Structure 1
Amino acid sequence: MPSLNVLPVQPSARQPRGAVKLNETLIDGWLSWEVESNSFYAADTFRITFLKNMLPAERNARWFSELTTAFVEIFAGFPPNADNYRTTDLTSMVYGRVDEVEFDLVRGRIDLIGRDLTSEFIDAKTTEKWPNKTASQIATDLAVRRGLTPMVTPTTTKVGTYYDIDNVTMTDQRSEWDILNYLAHLEEFAVYVRGKTLYFGPKPDPKATPYVLQWQPPEGDRGYPVGNFMDLRFTRGLTVSRGIQVVVRSFLSKGKKSFTATYPSKGNSTQAGKAKPFGGTQIYTYTIPGLTQEQALQRAQSIYAELIAHEMKLTASLPGDNILGIDTMVQVIGTDTAWDQTYYPDSVTRRMSFEEGYMMNLHAKNHAPDSTVAP
C-alpha cells in the first residue's frame, strides 16, 4: 500500500501549543488532553491526563483525592513564539466542570473527566411551567440561575400557548436542558453553551467557506497519493439509499381530531435503468400526540431530514487546527465517487499530547445527492 503524503489544511511554520487552567489557575504537569465538540443540543466533553511527578507540590495526589468541585479550561493554538506565550495567544477549546477524578497509582497518572457548562442544565431537574413567560424569558432566567451569560434572541409567544397546542402538561420532573431543547424546537432555534455563555436563538448558518478534505491519487512521476489527512473512510447506508418515507400520526384531544402526514408524499420511484436493491421504499411510522395537520407534516419533514442524514458518513483523522468547527461544512473532493460532496460535522475531537502533537478526529454525515426530495 503506498504511503500518503499529508499536507496541512493551512500550512504554518508555527508549532502547536496548549495550556490548561484548573479553577482559573494555569497548571503545568499535563501529559495530554482531549476535547470532543459535539453537535448542538449535546454537551462537549473533555479529559486531561496529568503525570503525578510533574505536578506542582501544592497539586499533589492527596489534593486531587480530596477535590470536591473543580472547573477546567483547555487552550490550544499556534502562538507567534512557541517558547514564550500566554493563554491570550491561544484559543479556548472548552470550559467545564470536572465530573470524575481517576488515579492510576501504578502509572502515576491523574485524569480529570468532565463536560462543558451544558452539564449545569442537564443535571438540574425541575417541574416549573412558566405559562406566562416567553421562551426567551425562560432561557434568560435559567442562564442567570446557573451563572451563565445569556445571549438570547427575544421571542413573543407565551409558553402556555405551546402547552395547549402540543398537549404538554409538564407535570413530571425533567431537566432544564430538556426544557430548553423543547422550547428551542418550538421556536425553530438552536440552544447550546460555549464557554460561560448560553446561546438561544436562530440556528447558525454553516460557515460560508467549507473545510476541504482533498485527495490526489498517484499520477505522473509522483507514485504516491496526496491528501490533507492521515485517514479518511466513508460509509453509505443502503437501507436509506433505496428510499424512505416518514408517516406521522397525531391527534388533538380538543375536537377529537386525528391527523396523518406523509413525507415525501410518494416514495422515491425507480427510474428506468436504475433498479433499487432489496425492494421498495422503507416506511418509518411515528405517533406523536398534540399536533395539528401542519405541525405533523413539519415533524415528518424534520424526521426525514434526520434519517437521510445518516446515509452518507465519513470519519477522518488529520493534523489538529483551530479552523474546523462543529458548524463548519466539510467538502470532500478528488475521490471521483459519490462521496465527493458536502457533510455536516457530528463531532470534532481534538487531542494534544507530548507524544503525538496536535491531532483531530472528525465524524460527519449527509445524504447522498440523489436522495434529495424534489419540491
Structure 2
Amino acid sequence: MPVEQPRARVSLGGVELGGVVELEVEAAGLYQAGRYRLVCAASAASLLPLAMDGGAPVPILLEIGADGFGFAPLLSGLVETVRFDLARGVAVLQGRDETALLIDTEISQSFVNQTASDVALAVAQAHGLAANVTPTQTLIGQYYQIDHARSALTVGARASTQWSLLCGLAEVAGFAVSVVNGTLNFGPMLDGTTRMVTARNFLGLEVDLITALPASVTVRSWNCRDKKVVTQAAGSGKATNLVRPNLTTQQAGEYASAYLQNVQRHAQLLLGRMPGDASYAVGDTLLLSGTQTALDGSYQVAALQWRLNDRDGFVQSLKAYGVA
C-alpha cells in the first residue's frame, strides 16, 4: 500500500537526526550500490564533529513512514561526505549503502580450494553482513582453468576489490549479487513482487523501443588447459563479439546465451514516475495493461529512485525492462 502523509526518519550511528528538508535514495541494483542524498536543517555545530572526526564513516539508516503505518527502510549505509550550506543553514549528507564496504576493500587474501559461495560467505562475515548465499560446488580456480588458489595476484586486474571479485564470480555462475539492508545476496536472481499497473498508476509514463540491438553474440576464448581456441555463438543476425579468458566450450556457449538474453532485455524500456511506495524493489514485475497495444505486458524493475521534498511529497521514479 502506498505510504500516505510521508515523513522521513534518519538515524546517524543509532541517534535520530531531525530537520529533514529533502531526501533522495537510489535503490541498490544488480552489481551496483545504493546511493542517497540528504538535506537537513541540522546546524553545522551539530554535524561538524562528524565530518572532522577522521575515523570510520558513520552508519546511517534512512526510513520512510506515515502515521499508523510505522517505518520502512529505504537504505542502510554510510555517511561519506558532508557539505555545509552556510547561506541556507542546511547540511547535505551523501553516501552509499553497505555495498561500499566491499567496493572499497581490496583483496588481501588467497581463496584456496574455495567455491564462489565460500568466498561470498567469507566476505559477508568480514563485514558483519548477514548472508543470503546459494551454495555452489565448483572450485573458483576451475572457472579459469588455472589453479584452485586465487590470490590477490592471480585475480589480477579483473578483480582488485572484494566487490569486483564477487561480481565476476556471480557472472560466471549466472548469479546476481547485491547488498540490501545489511544482507549480502549471492545467488540466482529471484522474482520480486508482481504488480498490476495501468497508466493511471503513474504521474508520468513512457516506453522506449530500441531497434538497434545486436541479434547475435559470439564468444571467443583461449583455454589454457586444453591449449586451444574456443568459439561459441548464440542467436543470428547483427553480431557483437566478446573475448573472455579460459572458458570451456560449454562455458562459452552458456556465456553467449546469457549475454544475448541480457542485451535483448533492453529492446523495450519503461520509464515511470509515480507516488512513492517503499514496498517497491528492484526485481519486481510490473504487469502493464490498458494501453490496448503491444506495449501491454510484463516489465521487470531494474532501477528505482525515491524522492521526498516539500514540493512534490513522496514520489518514485523507476526503469523497467520488457520481459518476453
Is the aligned partner of 1:72 residue 2:60?
yes
Question: CA contact under 8 A between 1:249 and 1:288: conserved in structure 2?
Answer: yes
**Deviation (angstroms), 1:330:** 1.4
The aligned counterpart of 2:179 is: 193
8 Å CA contact 1:166–1:290 kept in 2: the answer is: no
Task: Tell me which residue corresponds to 1:158.
Answer: 139
| Alpha-carbon distance in structure 1 between the residues aligned to 2:16 and 2:2 | 29
Structure 1 portions without partners, runs of 5+: 1-9, 82-88, 216-226, 268-280, 370-375
1:124 to 86, 105, 108: 105
C-alpha deviation, 1:104, in angstroms = 1.8
Contact in 1 for aligned 2:144/2:247 (Cα 8 Å): no
Structure 2, unpaired ranges of 5+:
none
Task: Please report how far the alpha carbon of residue 205 of structure 1 lies from its aligned counterpart in structure 2 after TM superposition.
Answer: 2.4
**Structure 2 partner of 1:234:** 207
| Paired AA for residue 73 in structure 1 | L
Distance change in 2, residues 1:119/1:171 (3 Å):
same
Matches within 5 A, 1:125-274: 125-164=106-145, 169-172=154-157, 174-207=160-193, 210-215=194-199, 227-240=200-213, 244-264=215-235, 267=236
Contact 2:143 2:247 in 1 (8 A): no
The 8 Å contact of residues 11 and 61 in structure 2, kept in 1 or not, is answered as: yes
| Alpha carbons 2:144, 2:245 under 8 Å: kept | no
Checking the alignment, whether the CA contact within 8 Å between 2:76 and 2:181 is kept in structure 1 is: yes
For 1:11-90, what aligned pairs fall within 5 Å after superposition? 14-52=4-42, 55=43, 59-60=46-47, 62-68=48-54, 69-80=57-68, 89-90=70-71
Deviations 1:52-71 (A, max 9, x none): 4xx5x9625x3354244321
The residue that corresponds to 1:330 in the other structure is 286
| Cα distance between partner residues in 2 of 1:236 and 1:64 | 47
Taking the aligned partners of 1:130 and 1:148, their CA distance within structure 2 comes to 19
Kindly indicate whether the alpha-carbon contact (under 8 Å) linking 1:38 and 1:346 is maintained by their aligned counterparts in 2.
Answer: no
Asked if structure 1 preserves the Cα contact closer than 8 Å seen for 2:198 and 2:289, the reply is yes
Counterparts in 2 of 1:67 and 1:313: CA distance versus 1, 3 Å: farther
When structure 1 is superposed on structure 2, of 20-29 and 198-207 the one drifting more is 198-207
TM-score (norm: length of structure 1): 0.78
1:323-362 Cα distance to aligned partner (Å, 9 max, x none):
3211211122112222212112121101112332111001
1:108 aligned onto 2:89: yes
Which AA in structure 1 matches 2:121? T
Relative to structure 1, the CA distance from residue 183 to residue 78 in structure 2 (aligned partners, 3 Å threshold; closer, same or farther) is: same
Residues 167-176 or 35-44, more deviating: 167-176
User: Radius of gyration: which is bigger?
Assistant: 1
Aligned pairs for 1:274-353 (under 5 A) are: 281-353=237-309
1:125 counterpart SS class: coil
Identity of aligned residues (%): 30
RMSD: 2.4
| 1:252 partner amino acid | N
CA distances 1:108-127 after superposition (whole Å, capped 9, x unpaired): 22111111100000001115
TM-score by length of 2: 0.89
Structure 2 equivalent of residue 218 of structure 1 = none
Whole-angstrom CA distance in 2 between matches of 1:166 and 1:119: 29
